[in-house]
Amino acid sequence: MTAPVLEVRDLKVYYHTARGPVKAVDGVSFTLAPKTRLGLVGESGSGKSTMALALMRMIKPPGRIDGGQILLDGQDLVQLSQDEMRRVRLNQIAMVPQGAMNSLNPVTRIRQQIVDGLRAHDIKMTKREMDKRVAEVLSWVDLHPSVGDMYPHELSGGMKQRVCIAIAISLRPKVIIADEPTSALDVVVQRQVMETIGRVQEELGAAVILIGHDMGLMVQFVDRLAVMYGGKIAEQGHMRDIFREPLHPYTRLLIQSLPKLEDKGELKGIPGIAPSLLNAPPGCLFHVRCPEALPVCKTVTPPPQELRPARLVACHLYDAAPVVAGAVAAPVAGKEQAA
Amino acid sequence: MTAFLELRNVTKVFSSGILRKKRTVALDNLSLKIDTDRPMVKAIAGESGSGKTTLGMMLMGFLSPTSGSVLYNGKDMRSLNRDEQRAFRREVQAVFQDPFSVYNPFYPVDHVLEMPIEKFKLAKSRREARALMEEALSAVGLQPAETLGRFPHQLSGGQRQRIMVARALLLKPRLIIADEPVSMVDASLRATILESLRKLNRDFGISILYITHDLTTAYHVSNHILVLYRGSLAEAGDVEHVIKQPKHPYTQLLVDSIPWPDLEHSWGKNRIPSGKSAVQPVSATACKFADRCPHAMPVCGQQPPPLYRVDPTRAAACFLHQEAAVLPREEINALFV
């Protein structure tokens, strides 16, 4: 097994509000192998976007990384100084933020916005070399070099999104984080953008973390999936395994709620609402909505258990199942501390 | 027989620029009847810029057509008298995309329910008003005790959107126009909102016009579908047929692009031709999809395709189906049985 490019161990990100800490990410562990695609799904408020920001070390006060490690090729990003982190961003780990197309500067040409990123990383080039580089970066995302001379308003939503991908990959990072990269685009453009990300990922040999709530997109795109609920990972494993046989009740309901082409029938939603992460009660945060909740779920936080190879589930339903204690220490796993 | 609401050869052109010279055809010669005798769920589908929202706005009377007319009970919307306008405002209700901006953050959510009760004098007393509100909330699957008296920020997007459905229901409308009601809501909550819309259709006999870019949900909630492309009707008919065996190349492209949550139904199989086709439209009235169409023929660049009735319950505006009979655009409702 190859060493993971990114390893997150027991990461905790809390927002310290006047009414107490909001545990947006609470003891999350996962690993990302080189050249693979990991999906991070969850509903609004599950902590998935906070997760993305934490990986970039871009959490702003009152938020803070309160524990854990983010190992990028063995280097712990949490320990880096601001200046050291600035050099890592874009260069080794880059993000396509949510609604990225609105993050382009409206009064600056596309070329300049790509060049800005390169300059910030002390890349010294002549103007001609720079032009060549910009054209190359744009060609990676299927855009014509002339797009460099345009302003954002001259581009369609899908093109703007591809420009943002181009900026994110301009320094060939090892890890690309895409936070709902297509949420504002229609299906045809969505497919083109996702295919662009996929192709770029393969060509650069980077690893991708796709964050979103659209399970359909995950099925089409990722290799591994982590389902987040209330700041913790409920279940993680290979996409196909999870989809064929979801083990956590939340994952099961999530998959059932999807409209499929077959059995056009009643649409099943998940009853209840997402938990407030402010002063969260002990126990499993899903127990109030869970159709299979046990008494123990109200009091004890379920730790992730490796039920199958490379498959972790945090649910008391499987407490009776034989847990391979040693296997939990495998690189895919991490110990979760009770809140 | 006069339809409840009818679009008759409606065209809407937006002009912009200093001399109003830049013209955008948002909707091109569209006809559609909405009957409320047999309440149905109709979906209007299309990408951004297809004219689907413009269509909804005209049916709600917020926009007037550039040519053609919008008829309410057979009468042109522009010539309604006060009472008729009032009746129209009550019988046609809307649910919009953004469940966040419709609420005033300073008022409890009760406010959006009290307003219509007050304006349309639906209740004689406070108690009666309260009963009406509770009834409407229960109908959309919300607990009145847990909802009333709360402020918008205390509720999730899904709950807020269902309150909007409850508000529409309060007025006992005959038609609800829902413009992208779930696009800003989490995937896991979409199902509950759509299910409440379907319930209104089934249990209260309210017709629903569901405007969306999401063919997956359109397939699940609607009986009939109209697919728009840049203001023109591409394909229309029974939703089963249109989604499962699309006949128009644009609908085929849309259906192929859906990220189905299905392991066997993967994207990779048929790659979308992202380049342009050889045919460039020479005339402004040519098929608007010609420059992207993988099957484009010379004729596509020269004249607009009429609607061909490819099977009894479906029509496609595409020259690939020339052998089928032409369906006059005004008779599109013949498809919706």
- What is the ipTM score, two decimals? 0.75
- A residues 113-142 lying closer than 8 A (beta carbon) to B: 142
Among A37, A44, A143, A278, which would you mutate to test the B interface (most chain B Cβ atoms within 10 Å of its Cβ)? Answer: A44
Q: Chains A and B: how many Cβ contacts under 8 Å?
A: 122
Specify the pLDDT at position B48. 77
Binary contact (A195, B254; C-beta < 8 A)? no
Interchain CB distance below 8 Å, A216 and B261: yes
Q: Find the range with the poorest average confidence among A142-151, A316-325, B200-209, B222-231.
A: A316-325
HSE (CB half, 13 Å, CA atoms) of A320?
A: 3
What's the pLDDT score for residue A266?
66
Between chains, do A267 and B198 touch, taking CB under 8 Å as contact? yes
Q: What does the alpha-carbon distance between residue B101 and residue B290 come to, in Å, rounded to a whole number?
A: 38
Check: CB of residue B213 under 8 Å from CB of residue B46: yes
Which of B195, B244, B257 is nearest residue A190 as measured by Cβ atoms? B257
Residue-level pLDDT, tens digit, chain A, 339 residues: 578 999 999 999 999 988 888 899 999 999 999 999 999 998 878 888 899 999 999 998 889 999 999 999 989 999 999 999 999 999 999 998 877 667 899 999 999 999 998 888 878 888 898 899 999 999 888 888 999 999 998 888 888 888 998 999 888 899 999 998 887 677 888 888 888 889 889 988 999 999 988 888 899 899 999 999 989 999 999 999 999 999 999 999 888 888 777 667 667 777 777 777 777 778 898 988 888 888 899 888 999 999 888 899 999 998 875 544 444 433 333 334 333
Encoded tokens for A72: 């990028």
pLDDT computed for residue A329 by the predictor: 38
Q: Of the ranges A264-278, B19-33, B160-174, B297-311, which one carries the lowest mean pLDDT score?
A: A264-278
pTM: 0.82
Tokens of B308: 């061909």
Which pLDDT does position A10 carry in this prediction?
A: 94
Q: How close, in Å, is residue A142 to chain B by CA atoms?
A: 10
Distance from CA of B217 to the nearest CA of A (A): 7
| pLDDT score of A263 | 65
Go through chain B and tell me how many residues it has. Answer: 337
Amino acid at B334: A
- The domain segmentation of chain A, as residue ranges, is 6-260+267-324
Q: Which two tokens stand for residue A52?
A: 């993305």
Percentage of the residues of chain B whose pLDDT score is greater than 90: 47
Contact B265 A190 (CB under 8 A): no
Check whether B274 has a pLDDT greater than 70. no
What's the mean pLDDT in B15-19?
74
Indicate the residue type of A214: D
> Are B197 and B221 contacting, i.e. CB atoms less than 8 angstroms apart?
yes
Domain A6-260+267-324: CATH superfamily is P-loop containing nucleotide triphosphate hydrolases (3.40.50.300)
Integer Cα distance of B296 and B282 in angstroms? 13
The answer to whether residues A165 and A201 touch, using CB atoms and an 8 Å cutoff, is: no
Say whether residue A260 is in contact with chain B using an 8 A CB cutoff: yes
Q: Chain A residues with CB inside 8 Å of B244's CB?
A: 261
**Would you place residue B314 in the very low, low, confident or very high pLDDT band (cuts 50, 70, 90)?**
very high
- Chain B residues bordering chain A (beta-carbon distance below 8 Å): 47-48, 156-159, 186-195, 198, 213-217, 219-221, 240, 243-244, 253-254, 256-263, 265-267, 271-272, 274
Question: Is A268 in Cβ contact with B258 (below 8 Å)?
Answer: no
Instruction: Assess whether pLDDT exceeds 80 at residue B143.
Output: yes
Residues β-bridged to residue B55: none
Please state whether beta strands A175-179 and A93-96 pair in parallel, antiparallel, or not at all (unpaired): parallel
Confidence band for B310, pLDDT divided at 50, 70 and 90: very high
| Per-residue confidence band for B128, with pLDDT thresholds at 50, 70 and 90 | very high
Give the separation between CA A277 and CA A26, rounded to whole angstroms. Answer: 10
* Residue type (1 letter), B333: N
List the structure tokens of B92.
């046609």
**A288: nearest Cα among A301, A304, A271, A302:** A271
- d(Cα A224, Cα A244) in Å, to the nearest integer? 13
Helices (H) and strands (E) in chain B, counts: 10, 13
* A255/B260 touch (CB, cutoff 8 Å), yes or no: no
For position A334, what pLDDT does the model report? 38
In this structure, the number of other CB atoms found within 10 A of the CB of residue A321 comes to: 11
The whole-number pLDDT of residue A276 equals 76
